[in-house]
Structure 1
Amino acid sequence: MATIDTVKEVLEENLDINPETVSDDSTFDSLGIDSLDMVELICDLEEKCDVDFGEPEGLKTVGELVEYIDSL
């Protein structure tokens, strides 16, 4: 499964965000994801992708998050 699909799946499961509305250019603000949601998203993605994110900062879009995950 591609990383973007994993991110979309977690967004749908945890935040009820329609995956069809999510693209690489989607900002977390535009998706209604606040800082608390972001922490939860990171934790869920760490578990699902079996990676340790550390403390990513400055991620504004889904595409930036996908690139970050793929770089780990």
Structure 2
Amino acid sequence: MVLEKLSKLIAEHKDVDPAGITLETTLESLGLDSLEVVEIIMEFEEETGVAIEVNEKLKTVGDVVKLIGECE
């Protein structure tokens, strides 16, 4: 569920197919910079009510999913 919701948000930001986003997809390959990642996580927080503390070690979509899972 987290991956699906996150993929949808990324797809809306970068106009990509959410079906092509996997846990192994790098944020760099999606063209996401750190500011965009923070914006997407903030949107996720608003939609779910989960507070997420962002760190700089996020390299893949899986890293973001794991971070969100730790905060839920």
Range of TM-score over shorter length: 0.7 to 0.9
| CA RMSD across the alignment | 1.3
SS in 1 for 2:58: coil
- What is the TM-score with the length of structure 2 in the denominator? 0.86
Which 5+ residue runs of structure 2 have no aligned equivalent? none
Which 5+ residue runs of structure 1 have no aligned equivalent? none
- What is the TM-score with the length of structure 1 in the denominator? 0.86
- Residue equivalent to 1:53: 52
* Number of matched pairs: 71
- Residue equivalent to 1:70: 69
- Residue equivalent to 1:20: 19
Identity over the aligned pairs, expressed in percent?
34
